Amino acid sequence: MATTGTTMQLPTNGEPAQSRPAGRRGRSIAPIVHRTPAEHAAEGEAAARKMPHALHAGFDPATDRRDPVELLMSQAPARVPELVPIRYGRMLVSPFTFYRGAALVMAHDLAAGPNTGLVTQLCGDAHLSNFGFFASPERRLVFDINDFDETCPGPWEWDLKRLVASFAVAGREVELPAKKRKVILRALTRSYRESMAQFAGMRDLDLWYAHLDVDSVLSDFAQQLKPANRKRLSKNVAKTRTRDSMQAFNKLTQLVDGQRRIVGDPPLLVTLDELLPEVERDTVSEWLRVLVRRYRRTLESDRRHLVERYECVDIARKVVGVGSVGTRCWILLMLGRDDEDPLFLQAKEAGPSVLTEVGCKSDYANEGQRVVAGQRFMQASSDIFLGWQRVTGLDGVERDFYIRQLRDWKGSAQLENADYDSMLKYGEVCAMTLARAHARSGDRIAISAYLGESEDFDKAMAEYAEAYADQNERDYDSLVEAAKTGRITVESGL
C-alpha cells in the first residue's frame, strides 16, 4: 500500500517577507507525490551511499570558522541592551550553560559539515534541557520537546547531533568517565535509530497519535533506575504537577490596594511601574493588551472563546532561559471569574531561527507563526493557548511574538542531580522523543533506511559528540577571555 508524503524540501523564500501579510509565504502549491514504502527506503539507501555513516564521526572546525564570540555578539543588537550582560553571565557559569546559549555557533558548524539531504522539521536547539514534562489538553502529564524558538526545516541529523553533543558536554559537567559517556552516547543514538525503525513501520495515523506520557516513562525506565534516582524522579514529577497558573499566581502576585498585581524581582522580573514612567507605562500596557486581542484571532474558535473570558490586569517583563536572555518576553496576568481564577500568558519575541542564517528556509513570514507551526508539527500535543502575532513597538519596529501559558505542569531534568544511570535512561527517552517528532514531519522510512540496522552510526555519533564537546570547551574559553579583556560586559549571579 502506498504511503503519503515525500522527503521534505527546503521551502523557497518567494517574494520578500515584508511585502506580504504575516502567514505562509506566497508560492504555488505543488502536487503531493505518493510513494511506496520501497521508494521511500530507496531514497534513504541512496543517501547512505552518498553520505556514509563514517563521515559524521569526529568534528573538524572549518578553516574559515567564525569567531564564536563574534557570532554571539552579532545577536546583541536585536536584544534589550541592559539584559545582554545577563545572557553572557549565564553562559559563563559552565561549558554546559555556554552550550545552551550557543545554538547559533553550532548551527554554523553543522552547516559546514556533512548533510544527508533528508529534511524534516527541526527543533533547532534540541539539547537535553529542552525536553521535559508538561500538561496535554486532556490533562495528562506528557514528555516531549518543549522549546521551539529555533524550529525550521533542515537535515534531520542536525537535531540529533545537537542532542548527542549536549550529553557529552553534560557528562563532563557531572564528571562521568569517558568510557561511561561513550556508552550513553551510543545508547542514545541507538534509541533514536531503533525508534525511527519502529515509527517507519507504523501506519500514518498510529504515528500521529503516538505520544510518551509520564506513566510510560515511570513504568518502562524508572524501574531500571537506582532507588534514590527513582525516588528523585517521582518527586520531580509530583512537583511538576504543581507548576501551573495557580502556583505562579501565588508566587508572583500580591494584593496592592485591593487589586491583584505582579510582584517585581528586578532585573529578572520587572513590572511596568518599575520599568517605565507613567505616560509610557500606560502606552506599553495598552500595546500589550492589543497584542493579546489580536493574538486571539490565531486560536481555534473554542479556545478563542475561552481566552476572551479572561481580562488582562497586569504585565511584567521577564528574563527566561540562557540563549533567550535579552529577547523581549512579557508575562500577562489574566483573571477570569474572580481572583481565584488566574491565567498567566507569556508573550515571547520570536526572531529569525539561527538555522535561517546558515541557509535553511522558513515557510512562514511571521516568526511567531514559524515557532507555533513547528511546535504543533513536532509535539504530540501542544498548549491550547499557543498562538502568534506581529505588532509595532513604541520604537516603530515591527516584532513578531508567540504566546503560550507561562506554566502548565512544566518541568525539566536537573543536571546537578544526574549520574550515569539516570543520564543513560534520560538520553534514551529524549532520543525516542526526538525520533517521533522527526517521524511526524519527515520521511521516516527514508531516515530509517539511511540509519540501517548496524551500530556504525551510533559509533560515529559518539565520536562526533566528544569531539564537539572539545570544541565547545574551546569556545567557552574564548568567551571567558572576552569577559576578562572587556570585549563583552558581563553581569553574573542572575
pLDDT of residue 102: 98
Contacts of 413 (CB under 8 A, 6+ apart): 128, 129, 131, 132, 426
User: What is d(CA 413, CA 450) in angstroms, rounded to the nearest whole number?
Assistant: 31
- Per-state percent for the chain, helix, strand, coil, to nearest 5: 50, 15, 35
> Which DSSP state fits 83?
G
Q: Taking the domains of the chain in order of start, what are their residue ranges?
A: 35-241+416-485, 245-405
pLDDT at 253 over 60: yes
What band does 410 get if pLDDT is binned at 50, 70 and 90? low
Window from 132-141, 278-287, 401-410 with minimum mean pLDDT: 132-141
The mean pLDDT value for 415-429 works out to 86
Report the pLDDT averaged over residues 409-413: 66
Angle at 168 between CA 91 and CA 232, to 5 degrees: 85
In this prediction, residue 18 has a pLDDT band, given cuts at 50, 70 and 90, of: very low
DSSP code, position 113: S
State residue 8 phi and psi, 5-degree precision. Answer: -65, 130
Q: What is the pLDDT of residue 16?
A: 35
Task: Name the percent of the chain lying above pLDDT 90.
Answer: 67
Confidence band for 33, pLDDT divided at 50, 70 and 90: confident
Instruction: Say whether pLDDT at 396 is over 50.
Output: yes
- What is the C-alpha to C-alpha distance for residues 445 and 435, in angstroms, rounded to an integer? 12
C-alpha pair distances (Å), 53 with each of 46, 58, 119, 221: 12, 11, 17, 29
Asked if residues 474 and 71 have their Cβ atoms less than 8 Å apart, the reply is no
Q: With bands split at pLDDT 50, 70 and 90, how would you rate the model's confidence at 481?
A: very high
Supply the pLDDT for residue 417: 72
pLDDT tens column, 106-129: 999 999 999 999 999 999 999 999
Q: First vs last Cα of the chain: how many Å apart?
A: 57
Task: Provide mean pLDDT across the span 291-318.
Answer: 93
Specify the amino acid at residue 362: S
Is the pLDDT at 236 greater than 90, yes or no? no
Residue 248's pLDDT is what?
A: 74
CB 23 within 8 A of CB 366: yes
Structure confidence at residue 133 (pLDDT)? 80
Nine-digit cell string for 461: 555519533
Phi, psi of 322 (to 5 degrees): -120, -65
Q: Count Cβ neighbours within 10 Å for each residue of 299-311 and write b for 16 or more, e otherwise.
A: beeebeebbeebe
CA distance 159 to 374: 14
Instruction: Count the helices and strands in the chain (H runs, E runs).
Output: 18, 13
The 10 Å CB-count burial string (b at 16+, else e) for 169-183 is bbbbbbebeeeebbb
Rounded mean pLDDT of the chain? Answer: 88
pLDDT at 14 over 60: no
Alpha helices in 320-402 (DSSP H): 367-378
Residue whose C-alpha is closest to residue 400's, from 435, 351, 345: 351
Q: Give dist(CA 123, CA 77) in Å, integer.
A: 24
Task: Quote the pLDDT of residue 21.
Answer: 43
Other Cβ atoms less than 10 A from the Cβ of 413: the count is 20
Q: Which amino acid is at 281?
A: R
Give how far Cα 176 sits from Cα of 54, 182, 353, 420, Å: 26, 10, 33, 7
* Mean pLDDT across 236-259: 75
Does the pLDDT value for residue 2 go beyond 50?
A: no
Mention every residue, 6+ apart, whose C-beta is less than 8 A from residue 174.
415, 416, 418, 419, 423
Instruction: Sheet with 411-412: list strands edge to edge.
Output: 141-145, 131-135, 411-412
Best CA proximity match to 180, nearest among 472, 434, 427: 427
Kindly report the pTM of this predicted structure: 0.89
- pLDDT recorded at residue 353: 98
Confidence band (pLDDT; 50, 70, 90) for 284? confident
Contact 252, 246 (CB under 8 A): no
Structure confidence at residue 17 (pLDDT)? 37
Lowest mean pLDDT among 5-14, 24-33, 261-270: 5-14
Reduced to 3 states (helix: H, G, I; strand: E, B; else coil), residue 377 is helix
Q: Is the pLDDT of residue 29 over 70?
A: yes
Gyration radius of the chain over CA positions: 22
